[in-house]
Amino acid sequence: MILLDVLQQVRALPKAELHLHLEGAIAPETARELAARHGVRVTSEEVRARYQYSDFQGFLEAFKWVTSFLNAPEDYRLIAERLCVELRAQNVVYAEITQSTGVSLWRKQDPLANFAAVQDVAARERRRGLHIQWIFDATRQFGAGPAMEVARIAAQVKAAGVVAFGMGGDELSLPAAEFREVYDYAAEQGLRRLAHAGEVGGPEQIRDAIEILGAERIGHGIAAMHDPALQGLLAERKIPLEVCPTSNLCTGALAKQLGRAEAEMQAHPLAALYRRKIPVVLSTDDPAMFHTTITEEYQAAATQMGLSACELCDLAEMSFAYAFLPVGEKSELLGKFRAAKVSLGLV
């Protein structure tokens, strides 16, 4: 009963999400709607089958299929609107949403037109109390040239709400050194720097993202569980890991890190990494594709990883503390969060 009360209180807290892919938030029925827009008829059963996978390659194939129905700015507008409804339902008041700009370019689309559509949605949501900033994401396996193109486009629209440049995709495809110039350019343009690393790769991928690319937050980073020296570096430099537990189960990333055929949530390293004083922000990654919500991620952290009410609140607060926001805006959001925590008795 006490745990249930705590989870209800956490649900009521204002929350932030920092590792959230726009395209990965396309719900199955929205995927059917998008397909129909472009003359493709699929059944609910067919879509549900596409949304089931047991390894990272299976997820990438599903992601490729879903995004194949994003062909016009209005498609992006629709999925942004649907995502914002879900975020408000979860009491998320701030989100940094990743848009797969590298994929848009690969599909020969106009990424600036796509961005204009989603930023229009974000402007409306700001008036409703949901503040959104955007991260433009390059696809690692496409190479440094396309990644530089993403960074240049991000720099063009920085003033319109693009706060960071990131890189996802297959982290084992190309070495970090090939992207040093891209990340240097992003930093020169005033963009914050992110990288997916240590999801299916080893600790060295995380270290390279930090030392070579200057990454200020690490997407996933669960491979840090294997390297105490790296854990010390992350704690000392206060470099957060954007941890997405349900994603790590669904893609098989956790099982791979543990050297097992399968893994359970209880084996996730989130609690251990957090208790080593490494900054951790809890996120959903691709919530629709992994059948989760941010509230369910907090619930799993409590019920399956053993985090206390105090630790849950600390996780929630870190998502505001490590947001890419100006000091004044960050202080305002942190103040509102702390006031809500007091009012809910979570002190």
CB-side neighbour CA atoms (13 Å) of 139: 16
Cα 249 → chain centroid: 15
Torsion over CA: 65, 152, 95, 196 (sign): positive
Local structure of residue 198 (DSSP, 8 states)? S
Q: For residue 199, indicate whether it is catalytic.
A: yes
List the strands of the sheet with 92-99, edge to edge.
15-21, 92-99, 131-139, 162-168, 192-197, 217-220, 241-243, 280-282
Q: 330: burial class by Cβ within 10 Å (0-12, 13-18, 19+)?
A: middle
- According to DSSP, the residues that pair with 341 across neighbouring strands are none
Dist CA 104 CA 148 (whole Å): 14
The single residue of 17, 96, 199, 297 carrying the catalytic annotation is: 199
Q: 300: burial class by Cβ within 10 Å (0-12, 13-18, 19+)?
A: buried
> Which residues carry out catalysis?
199
